Amino acid sequence: MKLLLIHAERFEYEARQRALEEAEELTEENRRGSAENALVCFTTVEGVDELNLPWVVERAADEVEGLARRLAVGRVVIYPYAHLSPDLAAPAVAMRALRGLASALEARGLEVLRAPFGWYKRFSISCVGHPLAELSRTIRPQEAAEEYAVLAPDGSVVRLSEFDLGSAPLDFQQLVRREVYGEGGEGGEPRYLDYCRKFGIEWEPMSDQGHMRYGPEAALMLDLLAEYAWMCARSLGIPVFRVKGTNMFDLSIPAVKQHADLFGDRLYTVEVGQKRFVLRYAACHQQFAMLRDWSISYRHLPFGVFEVADSYRLEQPGELTLCFRLRRFLMPDLHILTRDLEEAKRISLRVHEKIYEEVRKVGRDYVSIYNLTRSFMEENASFLAELVRREGKPALLHFVPEGKYYWVINVEYNIIDRLGRPREIGTFQIDVGNAQRFGITYVDEGGGRRHPVIIHTAIIGSLERYLYMLFDTAAAVEERGGKPSLPLWLSPVQVRVIPVTSEQLQAAVEAAERLNEAGVRADVDDREESLAKRVRDAETKWIPYVAIIGAREVERGTLSVRRRDGPPAELTVEELIREVGERLRGYPRAPLTLPLRLSQRPAY
């Protein structure tokens, strides 16, 4: 694809005569058009673009959006122009590319005017006249594969263009096809959205786009996830300090501004008086601002700093996805300070293993993307080979320009969701730039001051994305004919006690109170509904244990227990406490945050 990009004071066109039999149909809306202060993109779709059209369109959108942002222009004109190349795409391909480019730019928040394809048109243009007012770009689909290679489990590196993708595991094939070639998943309606509604997870309509709200069950789940992320951080075998801080940082401070510039353009900013602030997009700012004030010796290293940070990213409206791509989310961010790159690599192996351990606990597995420079790959081949050996499957290497980022390697851990889409959950980076940028130092053995190398990681991913993975896993179970569920430790109610009649209500309440005293979240369905309906409602809520108590159970001092993931049993309260307690070993506990009796709860 070739682009001629003109920053125009004014541009207007009018379609006059059909140039191709396959021309788009004219309407009153597209027959003519005009725009002021716009970036006009004269666009030629080439035959070679069909080799990887989605990638070409996305890369073109990157170029156009980037220039529009630099020019502070909010309007773009897509103008088909067959005169920039002799190698023209077929009309159907060209129309697909032009429509895709317009849609991609609109999804990024730009106003787009697209002139019709296949017509001779009159146009007039007035160029603004400055260094960026006239530019050209050429995008070649072959470039996509050249940016990638495959790291095999035996440590060998194969160029992607030479790799036999068909012989790789299916999840790796799906990752490559989506990330490199832009081929989509299977499509369809995501089942997990129904699960979100079940537990009170939804968009907040009275806020900005991309902000979520959490009902009583979901709020408890988030609290448990925050504690679990903390437990994962502490399990690495190094000291970890838990901190808290603000989410707003002053862009007039050079370190803050430089870090924001490196992050990119999806920043939330706030103006207060004459100052401009950025809302943090992870815990980096707060932890780095704190660490610069600590007196650190080499004897203290390595150690970690942890916070569940409310984070903000100005994602485009078309990209927002409940529980997955948000403008405000909760990131359990861990930063580990190490003496040097060698120590950082050793600790990173531990982080890498922990990330895989956690995803495999829920019956899933990751496929990884290693973003890195070619020089880092060449100088650290044994480290990369050990990473992929522990994964036991190929990893996709994505090469980035030397010196562009503050990290030397950034690993993205993706599940393949039930619609065939890669979804990044966990991550780690080795950061060699921010300690110097923020003035973080430690005293080495010789009394000198050195900048530590910092590992960034979110072991389980953001809290919302971890939930997304659990719900997607439940959807896969349901598709196979099983019962969808949450892990027992994360279930808002772990045991529901149901009295057969009102005569057993007191016994049911006493059983639930004993369970709660023992750290098992239990409630009582005392509503005036049939037993069958109350049992069905508990199953609909995925409650792991349903304990029924009737006259026979009162007489025997037992509960008739239905397990969601196992056979029924008749158990005493103490036996149920022991069983649940054993399954909760190693996971966080929290008390029931709802009224004990369902009759005391409003509908929500």
Instruction: Convert the pLDDT of each residue in 441-496 to its tens digit.
Output: 999 999 999 999 999 999 999 999 999 999 999 999 999 999 999 999 999 999 99
Q: 309-334 b/e with 16+ CB inside 10 Å = b?
A: bebbbbbbeeebebbbbbbbbbbbbb
Helix axes 53-71, 91-107, angle to 10 degrees: 40
User: At a CB cut-off of 8 Å and minimum separation 6, what does 487 contact?
Assistant: 362, 470, 587
The predicted structure's pLDDT at residue 215: 96
End-to-end CA distance of the chain: 52
Burial of 82 (0-12, 13-18, 19+ CB in 10 A): middle
Q: What is the pLDDT of residues 553-566, one digit of tens each?
A: 999 999 999 999 99
pLDDT at 6: 95
With bands split at pLDDT 50, 70 and 90, how would you rate the model's confidence at 424? very high
Quote the pLDDT of residue 129: 85
| Percent of the chain with pLDDT strictly greater than 90 | 81
Domain boundaries, the chain: 2-142, 148-471, 488-600
Indicate the Cα dihedral angle 523, 528, 533, 534, nearest 10°.
10
Task: Give the chain's mean pLDDT.
Answer: 93
* Residues in contact with 385: Cβ distance below 8 Å, sequence separation at least 6, in sequence order: 151, 154, 155
CA distance 321 to 567: 37
d(CA 587, CA 579): 14
Architecture of domain 488-600: 3-Layer(aba) Sandwich (3.40)
Tokens of 94: 């060209």
Mode of pairing for the β-strands spanning 328-338 and 453-458: antiparallel
Distance CA 450, CA 492 (A): 47
| Topology given in CATH for the domain delimited by 148-471 | BirA Bifunctional Protein; domain 2 (3.30.930)
pLDDT by residue (tens digit) across 337-353?
Answer: 999 999 999 999 999 99
Is the pLDDT confidence value at 498 over 70?
yes
Rounded CA-CA distance 194/197 in Å is 5
User: Taking residues 56-72, what's their average pLDDT?
Assistant: 90
Evaluate the omega torsion of the peptide bond into residue 422 and state whether it is cis, within 30 degrees of 0: no
198 burial type by CB count under 10 A (0-12 exposed, 13-18 middle, 19+ buried): middle
- Higher per-residue pLDDT: 172 or 177: 172
pLDDT bracket for residue 184 (50, 70, 90): low
Q: Where are the alpha helices (DSSP H) in 264-363?
A: 284-291, 341-361
Give the CA radius of gyration of the chain. Answer: 28
Q: Which residues pair with residue 159 across a beta bridge? A: 149
Q: What CATH number should be reported for the domain whose range is 2-142?
A: 3.50.80.10
C-alpha–C-alpha distance, residues 181 and 51, integer Å: 9
Task: Report the predicted TM-score, pTM, of the whole model to 2 decimal places.
Answer: 0.78
Q: Is the pLDDT of residue 187 over 90?
A: no
